[in-house]
Amino acid sequence: MDTAPDLSNFPVPDYIRAIAPYVGGRPIAEVARQFGLDPRHIVKLASNENPLGMPESARAAIARALGEAARYPDSNAFDLKAALAGKYGVPENWLTLGNGSNDILVLAAQAFLQPGAGAVYSAHAFIVYALASQMQGAQSSVVPALPGLGHDLEGMLSAIRPNTQLVFIANPNNPTGTFLTGEAIESFLGRVPSRVMVLLDEAYNEYLDPELRVDSSAWVRRYPNLIVSRTFSKAYGLAGLRVGYAIAQASVTDVLNRIRQPFNVNGLALAAAAAALTDQEFLERTYAMNRAGYRQLTEAFDALGLRYIPSRGNFVLVQVGEADDAGARVNLGLLKQGVIVRPVDNYGLSKWIRISIGLPEENSALIAALPQALQS
Ligand SMILES: Cc1ncc(COP(=O)(O)O)c(C=O)c1O
C-alpha cells in the first residue's frame, strides 16, 4: 500500500511553513452540497465581484479572440497596454500586466523584498500584503489601524526602519472599505524615504465618487518609488479572467517585467480587458448600482442597529455582535439560509462580517436572512 511521503524534512523555509493559506469566498456549489440547498436560490455576496456579471463588450471580444486560443498570447500585451497608456497618458514601458492585481502584489514583493528586509502595512489591510511579504521571508511591521479601522499613515511612516523596502497601502482598503484622501496620500508620498518602494493598491478605485478620484498616475510621474496597482476584477466585471496592472516608472516596470511569467495573462483575458476598459456605459451602470446597493444595505443595518464602517468599495464591513465568535455564528446562520458572505476573523475582525454589494434582489435576500442569523 502506498504511504504518503514524509515531507517534514524537506528544506522548506520556516517562513513559508508559517503562512496561513488564503481563504476565499465559499463557492455556491459547495454551500449547496453542504446545506442541501438549491444552488439557484443561493446568493453569493462574498468576493466583491460585480453582480452585473461580465460586460457584453468583453463577451463579444472573447468570442472574437477564441479562434486564436491555440496560440500563446501576446506576452507584451500590445493592445491592452496601448489602451492603458492612452487612458493614463503614460508610456507603455510604465505598465506591467498581472494575472489579477494579486499577481502584481506578489511581483512587487518578489522584486523588493527578501529575508531580512522589512515590509510595512496596516492592520486589517488586504491579506495578500501579509502573504506576499511572508513568502519572501521579509519582516512585516503591521501598524495598528485608526479607531475607524482606516490606515494610520503617520503610524506607517513612523514604522519605516532602515531595513524597510516596501510599504503597502490599500485605497480603498478591503475588507474595511476605508478611504484615504488624495491629500493624505500625497503628504505620505512626499515624506517616505525615496529608497522605500510604495505599492498603492487601488483595486476599488472605480467605485469612488467622481470628486474623490485622483490622478494617481500623476503621482507615479513624481515619485520613482511608487507602484500603483489596479484590476479588472471588480468594477470591470472580469474577476474570473484574472487581469490586473501596475503603473510605475520605467526602471521599476523593467524589474517587474523581468520576474513576470512570460504569458501570465491569457489571450481571452487580454481581449476582454481591452474591451471592458472603454465600456464607459457598463462602468457607470456598475457605479450607480453599487451606490444604490450601499444605501439599501446600510439603511437595513441602521434599522437593525448594526454598526458598520462607511465604505468606498463594493462591500460593507458590519459588526454582528459583541462575542468573539459573532462573525462565525452569523456567517453560519446566513449560510443555512443560502446567503454567502465573508467572515473576517483572519483579519483580526472576528465580530464582523464583510458583505459584498449585490443586485437589489440579492441585497434584499441578505436583509431578509439577517435577523434570524443574528439570533443564531
Ligand atoms: C484590495 C485588493 N487588492 C487586490 C485584490 C486582488 O484582486 P485581483 O487579483 O482579482 O485583481 C483584491 C481582491 O479582493 C483586493 O481586495
108 CB near ligand 1 (under 6 Å) = no
51 CB near ligand 1 (under 6 Å) = no
Q: Is residue 6 part of a domain?
A: no
Q: Is residue 244 part of a domain?
A: yes
CATH number for the domain spanning 41: value is 3.90.1150.10
Domain end, chosen from 257, 277, 297, is at 277
CA neighbor of 19 nearest in space, from 127, 116, 167: 127
Question: Residue 232 is part of which domain span?
Answer: 57-277
Nearest CA to ligand 1 atom 1: 174
**Structure letter (DSSP) for residue 237:** S
Instruction: Identify whether residues 244 and 362 lie together within a single domain.
Output: no
Instruction: Identify whether residues 192 and 71 lie together within a single domain.
Output: yes
Q: Is residue 26 part of a domain?
A: yes
CA distance 207 to 286: 8
Total domains present in the chain:
2
pLDDT at res. 2:
59
Residue 11 CA, ligand 1 centroid: distance in Å: 31
Secondary structure (DSSP) of 288-321? HHHHHHHHHHHHHHHHHT--EE--SSSEEEEE--
Probe residue for ligand 1, chosen from 200, 231, 312 as the CB with the greatest number of ligand atoms within 8 Å: 231
Domain end, chosen from 250, 277, 304, is at 277
Instruction: Identify whether residues 197 and 288 lie together within a single domain.
Output: no
Q: Is residue 290 part of a domain?
A: yes
Probe residue for ligand 1, chosen from 104, 127, 201, 227 as the CB with the greatest number of ligand atoms within 8 Å: 201
Domain end, chosen from 277, 307, 340, is at 277
pLDDT at res. 23:
81
Is 354 within 8 Å of 23 (Cβ atoms)? no
Instruction: Identify whether residues 249 and 364 lie together within a single domain.
Output: no
Q: Is residue 3 part of a domain?
A: no
99 CB near ligand 1 (under 6 Å) = no
pLDDT at res. 1:
52
pLDDT at res. 21:
82
pLDDT at res. 22:
83
Residue 10 CA, ligand 1 centroid: distance in Å: 32
pLDDT at res. 304:
97
> Cell triple for residue 95?
505598465
pLDDT at res. 376:
83
pLDDT at res. 158:
98
CATH number for the domain spanning 251: value is 3.40.640.10
Instruction: Report phi then psi at 185, rounded to 5.
Output: -70, -40
Residue 248 CA, ligand 1 centroid: distance in Å: 18
Q: Is residue 264 part of a domain?
A: yes
Probe residue for ligand 1, chosen from 44, 208, 233, 241 as the CB with the greatest number of ligand atoms within 8 Å: 233
Instruction: Identify whether residues 191 and 125 lie together within a single domain.
Output: yes
Instruction: Identify whether residues 68 and 120 lie together within a single domain.
Output: yes
CA neighbor of 365 nearest in space, from 19, 25, 51: 51
Instruction: Identify whether residues 74 and 183 lie together within a single domain.
Output: yes
**Residue 113, C-beta contacts closer than 8 angstroms, at least 6 positions apart:** 119, 132, 133, 136, 137, 138, 165, 166
The model scores a pTM over 0.85: yes
Instruction: Identify whether residues 234 and 331 lie together within a single domain.
Output: no
Instruction: Identify whether residues 102 and 34 lie together within a single domain.
Output: no
Instruction: Identify whether residues 270 and 301 lie together within a single domain.
Output: no
Instruction: Identify whether residues 138 and 157 lie together within a single domain.
Output: yes
**Structure letter (DSSP) for residue 204:** T
Q: Is residue 1 part of a domain?
A: no
Q: Is residue 2 part of a domain?
A: no
pLDDT at res. 7:
67
Q: Show the low-confidence residues of the chain (pLDDT under 70).
A: 1-3, 5, 7
pLDDT at res. 177:
98
Instruction: Identify whether residues 309 and 229 lie together within a single domain.
Output: no
Q: Which atom of ligand 1 is nearest to the CA of 105?
A: 4
Is 140 within 8 Å of 161 (Cβ atoms)? no
